[in-house]
């Protein structure tokens, strides 16, 4: 740690005039730096001084100290400049001067400024690097890469992923995107790949548009993201708000959404999935209950009306959600449309979608078999196309039946849902670890309270899937939906004492870890600044394994966090 005060001067009296001279020279060199950039850099330097621990060895090897500055005006991709030096201060000033020159060249003023200081560096052969990339998670490589020991050519991890420099399928660099980023960073060209690379990690700090400075995390999966000790109910609501705004901003005039977006290319595809559209309407309606606005209300209505227009009816008046791309009707589609209509009605205090929801319920009954399970996919003539396609459809259909009962009080919906749940329990569906099963049993136990199998099944969904829900490094946003649904079930359970402390701790650990992990796939500005259109992705969720934003990615993150914030006080009360 950098020492300060009289004790430091007593130890090193000869350093005082040198330090004073260094400050004077540094001030002179910074007079040329644009005031906005200099002000933000000074704030970052103060934070570095307060927390940087100067090691005995040179952290970047032959390069000595290496400092990166990433600068963005908030609307365009970050300009990255770096420099090396024998001291941290000299590397800092040289990198800052380079950054200022680049910003002036492009006529931009920094809204966001991020500094990375290389903290560790190690050689890695080209073959080993290729294997690590190819065998790891897609878009999961989280270290910077230098092409030589002196850092003549180097890229931060955020650049590698934000500019699609790494080809994860081939375990290699994409030549086109590599050359583009080399040119953008004024690093010349790379004629051929070296036999040895240098992988590095950085301590980093970020200064936002309000000149607030954030310490960024250093460890692998959290690397480069603002440090978050934990997620509470209020923080969850903030994440939901940003995500709902993203969905509203990406709605088309006809009520459909821009289905997916790949920010590293600034491209979307032409595909569309009506089931995911329905789920997105559901999550938007949840968000509206927290953050009501006329803009969000209007978007919800348009999206719900788009769903109504996608319904087809058989000769008995039963409705089915039409999948135009697959030319089929799915159980999951009908189930999620019912969930969407139910949530819209609750959020907007309307009965406009009741008729459509009930007709869809008749369609689900039409698909249910005597055993309790369902024919999952019908063709356009309402004949069975596939008895089974995915585990998710069963839970979606059952959860919808439960919601129809809560909507109407008609026993036939509850009987059908119970029949389905009995089938799932008898056939060990617990082993699938399906969040829709957790939603279903949570809803079912609100009305059927004397069936011990249901209470036990809810907790078993967690305990039988502990490895995937709690122990693995990565998690899915659907995990939080599952865990919170099980927690809600537990809070109503008549025999809570029968749940062991170990089982309860497994549940709480899963919730704690998953809620935190979801922030690792959220576009904070310190990461959004590395893609082509930062404002377009800012403050919403993405899927790191595909580096994309798809409407269901946002939906499931909202869904889990909505339950989390709703029940956060209960979590605390029960010892979370």
Quote the CA–CA distance of 166 and 81 in Å, as a whole number.
Answer: 20
Kindly tell me if the per-residue pLDDT of 273 is higher than 60: yes
Nearest to 212 by CA among 72, 117, 114: 114
Work out the average pLDDT over 258-275. Answer: 97
Q: What is the pLDDT of residue 427?
A: 97
Backbone angles phi, psi at 353, to 5 degrees: -115, 10
Q: Identify the sign of the CA torsion 432, 360, 552, 347.
A: negative
Kindly tell me if the per-residue pLDDT of 381 is higher than 50: yes
Backbone angles phi, psi at 349, to 5 degrees: 55, 55
Those residues whose C-beta lies under 8 Å from the C-beta of residue 18, and which sit 6 or more positions away, are: none
Quote the CA–CA distance of 488 and 294 in Å, as a whole number.
Answer: 31
Does residue 223 or residue 148 have the better pLDDT?
A: 148
pLDDT band per the 50, 70, 90 thresholds, residue 230 = confident
Q: Is 304 in a helix, a strand, or coil?
A: helix
CA–CA–CA angle 179, 183, 186 (5° rounding): 135
Cα–Cα distances (Å) from 148 to 132, 145, 165, 235, 385, in that order, read 19, 9, 17, 42, 57
Q: What is the pLDDT of residue 13?
A: 38
pLDDT band per the 50, 70, 90 thresholds, residue 472 = confident
What is the average pLDDT value for the chain, to the nearest integer? 93
pLDDT band per the 50, 70, 90 thresholds, residue 11 = very low
Per-residue model confidence as pLDDT tens digits over 338-379: 999 999 999 999 999 999 999 999 999 999 999 999 999 999
Nearest to 344 by CA among 408, 394, 284: 284
Q: In this prediction, what percent of the chain has a pLDDT beyond 90?
A: 87
171 close to 134: Cβ distance less than 8 angstroms: yes
Residue found by looking up tokens 């699609």 in the block: 164
Q: What is the pLDDT of residue 324?
A: 85
Kindly tell me if the per-residue pLDDT of 104 is higher than 50: yes
Q: Is 121 in a helix, a strand, or coil?
A: strand
Quote the CA–CA distance of 425 and 447 in Å, as a whole number.
Answer: 18
Backbone angles phi, psi at 537, to 5 degrees: -110, -5
Q: What is the pLDDT of residue 19?
A: 36
């Amino acid at each position: 740690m950098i020492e300060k005060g009289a004790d430091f001067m007593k130890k090193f009296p000869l350093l005082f005039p040198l330090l004073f001279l260094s400050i004077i020279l540094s001030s002179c060199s910074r007079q040329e730096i644009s005031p906005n950039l200099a002000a933000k850099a000074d704030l970052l330097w103060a934070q570095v001084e307060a927390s940087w621990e100067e090691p005995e060895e040179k952290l970047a090897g032959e390069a000595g100290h290496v400092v990166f500055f990433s600068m963005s005006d908030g609307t365009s991709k970050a300009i990255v400049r770096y420099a090396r030096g024998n001291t941290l201060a000299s590397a800092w000033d040289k990198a800052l001067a380079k950054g200022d020159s680049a910003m002036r060249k492009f006529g931009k003023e920094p809204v966001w400024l991020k500094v990375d200081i290389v903290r560790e560096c190690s050689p890695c052969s080209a073959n080993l690097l290729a294997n690590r990339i190819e065998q790891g998670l897609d878009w999961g490589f989280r270290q910077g890469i230098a092409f030589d020991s002196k850092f003549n050519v180097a890229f931060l991890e955020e650049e590698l992923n934000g500019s699609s420099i790494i080809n994860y399928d081939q375990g290699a660099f994409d030549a086109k995107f590599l050359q583009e980023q080399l040119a953008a960073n004024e690093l010349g060209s790379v004629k051929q790949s070296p036999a040895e690379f240098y992988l590095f990690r950085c301590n980093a700090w970020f200064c936002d548009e309000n000149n607030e400075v954030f310490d960024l995390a250093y460890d692998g999966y959290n690397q480069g993201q603002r440090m978050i000790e934990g997620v509470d109910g209020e923080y969850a609501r903030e994440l939901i708000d940003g995500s709902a705004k993203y969905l509203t901003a990406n709605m088309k005039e006809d009520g459909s959404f821009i289905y997916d977006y790949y920010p590293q290319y600034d491209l979307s595809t032409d595909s569309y999935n009506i089931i995911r559209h329905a789920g997105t309407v559901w999550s938007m309606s949840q968000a509206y209950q927290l953050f009501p606005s006329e803009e969000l209300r209007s978007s919800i209505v348009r999206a719900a009306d788009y769903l109504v227009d996608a319904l087809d009816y058989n000769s008995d008046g039963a409705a089915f959600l039409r999948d135009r791309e697959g030319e089929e009707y799915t159980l999951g589609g009908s189930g999620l449309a019912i969930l969407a209509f139910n949530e819209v009605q609750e959020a907007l205090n309307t009965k406009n979608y009741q008729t459509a929801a009930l007709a869809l319920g008749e369609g689900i009954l039409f698909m249910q078999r005597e055993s309790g399970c369902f024919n999952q996919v019908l063709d356009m003539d309402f004949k069975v196309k596939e008895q089974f396609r995915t585990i998710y459809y069963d839970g979606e259909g059952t959860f919808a039946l439960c919601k129809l009962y809560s909507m109407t009080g008609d026993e036939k919906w509850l009987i059908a849902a119970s029949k389905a749940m009995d089938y799932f329990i008898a056939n060990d569906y617990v082993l699938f670890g399906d969040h829709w099963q957790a939603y279903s049993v949570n809803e079912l136990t609100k009305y059927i309270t004397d069936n011990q199998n249901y209470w036990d099944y809810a907790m078993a969904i967690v305990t039988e899937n502990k490895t995937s829900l709690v122990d693995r490094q990565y998690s899915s946003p659907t995990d939080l939906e599952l865990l919170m649904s099980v927690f809600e079930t537990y809070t109503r359970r008549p025999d809570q004492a029968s749940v062991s402390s170990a089982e309860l701790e497994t549940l709480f650990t899963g919730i704690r870890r998953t809620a935190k992990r979801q922030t690792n796939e959220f576009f904070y500005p310190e990461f959004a600044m590395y893609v082509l259109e930062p404002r377009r992705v800012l403050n919403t969720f993405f899927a790191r394994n595909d580096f994309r934003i798809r409407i269901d990615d946002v939906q499931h993150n909202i869904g889990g966090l909505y339950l989390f914030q709703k029940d956060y006080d209960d979590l605390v009360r029960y010892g979370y």
